[in-house]
Chains A and B, each alone.
Chain A
């Protein structure tokens, strides 16, 4: 008898809980699917519109009746897109690779070496994070134009990044601190210099962090719009991908369906990169928090 009562007592709330759980699950899925659809529909309509004919794109038909795959070939043939792609990769590969390496070198200096003024230099570097890029924007333009005589060349978007970046350096510093130091000590006793230690021992161990930062910096640099707009905005032959699609958009120089095809092409590299290195992106975001 007693057992039975206890059973009923136990089973009742359980049933309720189960029902609640089912309702909760349904609401959860409905919520996730709704948000996912709101994100996917714009992408879907972009792809569909990029495959429509020149007439149909100016109607409110959602699904194309005839598929114009030739729009994509036309983008490469008729617009500056291909040229801009080559430009973009030429501009961002040196600062991303060299800059990330320089950040690693700097991080090694802070992590392993003692030198007078280290704390002050480190503090000053971290303090620069507070300075918003906006302040630098106008005077840097003037400096590139008048002192460095760099306008009309891609140098303003290539050179500054090659010295490394503070956020990247900080990330690398955190990584080096997790590496054991005794291997380096042993190598030094064998007569290897600090530079040799970095190249032969520390940097190979840092490859995961280096690759992660290269990927993140690459996608950031590829999507950057304001910097190339300021320094290269006047010369079409120097355009990056972002500048190219913006010009197609604002000048109405290209038919809508081709503009949209160009957007799909412009979106592809970072999305493919993300699909290949999903973990790197998500971990990078949660580690550095920003940027």
Chain B
């Protein structure tokens, strides 16, 4: 009896020593990322709140101005900012279109067509290309005098078009971003369609359903979690859009002025280095995005865990 309890005690002691060293190793393992997040995420986050309450140009000491910038954003002077948000929401049309294109291509690529992998590669490659380079490439495509788009119109005897003027630029950018961005959504759809049980389709076949019916009654409802996920991340992506707009139009015509581009400009020399205002705008934009991300995170949790 006594011997037994002694043994148990020893084992417990061993366990607890292991527990302590394990805990130490645990903190050691986790600390690099934790420190990185504290230094380069948490610290700037809190600092950003402080800067947004001051007038600050980087060189002179910040002057505390309270909620002045927020008041400005939410007053008539904030029109510029809300316009840019509106412009970003217009780009959501592109998200919808690329979602539809992604679903259609994914659906076709899940049937037994030849050259599946080649098509998949072609559709996906633009999404891993440098957006600066692809934007320059498309700017050239849209060029009034030498652009390929106008050359093609010419072949069909149609008039040349200024693709980057105020009336056309939004459509031109949406066309480009849909075509060069739907590849990611396509891959998500392909993996989702592949996980639909074959028996559903076989049952539909027995009932005499045609391909269109099968698409709308089986495929579309089955991939709806992915659809929702793509919509929300697409919306967030639209609100964070920057490179394409900065490289292609740099914010003029005014309907291509995006929130991040505006924030970038306010922290530059041209707009008077108003770091306070830029920070306040960033925080308002960030809150909008954070709320959308939060909703997405909660609702897509199911899907994320199922996949992994």
Residues of chain A at the chain B interface (Cβ within 8 Å): 20, 24-25, 28-29, 31-32, 35-36, 38-43, 45-46, 49, 57-60, 62, 102-103, 105-106, 108-110, 113-116, 118, 121, 125, 128-143, 145-146, 159-160, 162-166, 169, 174, 193-195, 198, 219, 222-223, 225-226, 230, 241-242, 245-246, 249-250, 256, 259-260, 263-264, 266-267, 270-271, 273-275, 278, 281-282, 285-287, 289-290
Contact = CB atoms under 8 A, between A and B. Distances in A.
Contacts of B19: 114
Contact of A135 (B36, B48, B119, B126): B48
Nearest to B56: A142
Given A135-B283, A136-B41, A164-B36, A285 B58 contact: no
| A28, A146, A256, most chain B CB atoms within 10 A | A28
A286 B29 contact: no
B123 interface: yes
Interface residues of B, number: 102
Contact of B21 (A105, A125, A194): A194
B105 A286 contact: no
Nearest to B120: A282
B172 to A, nearest CB: 12
Contacts of B120: 282
Given A57-B146, A163-B36, A287-B307, A134 B260 contact: yes
7 closest pairs, A vs B, by CB? Answer: A163-B36, A109-B29, A115-B26, A113-B26, A135-B286, A139-B48, A115-B23
Contacts of B37: 125, 128, 163, 166
Nearest to A175: B308
B23 to A, nearest CB: 4
Interface stretch (B5-13, B71-79, B134-142, B196-204): B134-142
Interface of B: 19, 21-30, 32-37, 39-45, 47-48, 51, 56, 58, 101, 104-105, 108-109, 111, 113, 115, 119-126, 128-134, 136-141, 145-148, 150-151, 154, 179-180, 184, 187-188, 190-191, 210-211, 229, 233, 236, 240, 242-243, 247, 250, 259-260, 263-264, 267, 275, 278-279, 282-283, 285-286, 289-290, 293-294, 297, 304, 307-308
A162 B119 CA distance: 36
Contact of B122 (A40, A49, A241): A40
Given A38-B179, A194-B21, A246-B247, A134 B129 contact: no
B26 A249 contact: no
A132 B146 contact: no
Contact of A42 (B43, B130, B148, B263): B148
A263 B129 CA distance: 10
A137 B267 CA distance: 10
A136 B25 CA distance: 31
Contact of B125 (A135, A145, A274): A274
A243 B58 CA distance: 23
A36 B294 CA distance: 36
A42 B141 contact: yes
A222 B101 CA distance: 27
Nearest to B108: A28
Given A35-B101, A163-B39, A245-B133, 11 more contacts: A28-B111, A109-B28, A128-B42, A132-B289, A137-B264, A174-B308, A194-B21, A245-B130, A260-B140, A271-B125, A287-B307
Looking at chain A's contact residues, is the secondary structure mostly helix, strand, loop, or mixed?
helix
A130 B41 contact: no
B34 A125 contact: yes
B136 A263 contact: yes
B58 A24 contact: no
Contacts of A289: 188, 229, 233, 304, 307
Given A134-B282, A139-B44, A163-B33, A287 B151 contact: no
A203 to B, nearest CB: 12
Contacts of B236: 132
Contacts of A46: 137, 140
A35 B122 CA distance: 9
A129 to B, nearest CB: 7
B45 A136 contact: yes
A164 B45 CA distance: 18
